[in-house]
Amino acid sequence: MDEDINSEAISPIDVDASTLEALMLRYQAADPAATERLLGALCPLLIRFFASMPDTRPVADDLTQDTLLRIHRARQTYRPDEPLLPWIYAIARHTRIDHFRRNRRRQAKEEQVDAADLQKFAAPPQESSSLPEFDALLSNLPESQREVLTMLKVLGMTVEEVARATSSTAGAVKQKAHRAYEKLRSVLESPSVGKSSSKERA
């Protein structure tokens, strides 16, 4: 497998899990070529993960860089007998959580802003109508369902991998996915689909 990895350029998106895991082991062994190829392959996957969430889309690049730094610091904690992608996305999820916590603390310090200004800042963004169809549909879902559906359908992860990445169970993942499908079905059947449905409850 190492010969294949050395002799071929690696596509940043279509990299199979076994190749990523082989690169990870070489990354842990301080192989600079493997490091560059692994991080180059993970970068578009992470950007796609963060960009699929409307609330993190504007900072997808920053969160991706933060996640890659965390992966680098934690690289020796990865165990070869475990799937790599759930380990990667668990780190990405914690990066998102930390991002939200920082935002909450920042917002708490700005609570003295005039109420009229607050109302203006809280106005829904006007860009939703220009979102790709799938992104617009995902914006109708609660965050937990949107995250699960993104991992399953956008990133191509299995139910078991999503369960590992979200510290959940396969049953809980299936339930969230089922509820997400039901919600999307109702949205698609609605005559108002494509309009300002992103304002529905999260």
- For the chain, give me the number of helices (H) and strands (E)? 10, 0
- Give the model's pLDDT for residue 111: 52
Cα gap 174→172, rounded to integer Å? 5
What confidence tens digit (pLDDT) does each residue in 3-15 have?
343 333 333 445 6
CA distance 97 to 103: 10
Which residue, 67, 14, 69, is CA-closest to 41? 14
DSSP 124: P
pLDDT tens, per residue, the chain with 202 residues: 443 433 333 334 456 889 999 999 999 999 999 999 999 999 999 999 999 887 788 899 999 999 999 999 999 999 998 999 999 999 999 998 888 787 766 665 555 444 444 444 444 444 444 444 666 777 788 888 888 888 887 777 888 988 888 888 999 999 998 988 888 888 777 765 544 444 444 4
CATH number of 125-202: 1.10.10.10
Domain 1-109 listed as CATH 3.40.50.1820: no
Give the DSSP letter string of 130-170: GS-HHHHHHTTS-HHHHHHHIIIIIS---HHHHHHHTT--H
Give the predicted TM-score (pTM) of the model.
Answer: 0.59
* Per-residue pLDDT at 115: 46
- Output the CA torsion 79→81→82→83 (10° steps): 120
The residues spanned by each domain of the chain are 1-109, 125-202
Q: What is the pLDDT of residue 201?
A: 44
Q: How many CB atoms lie within 10 A of CB 91?
A: 21
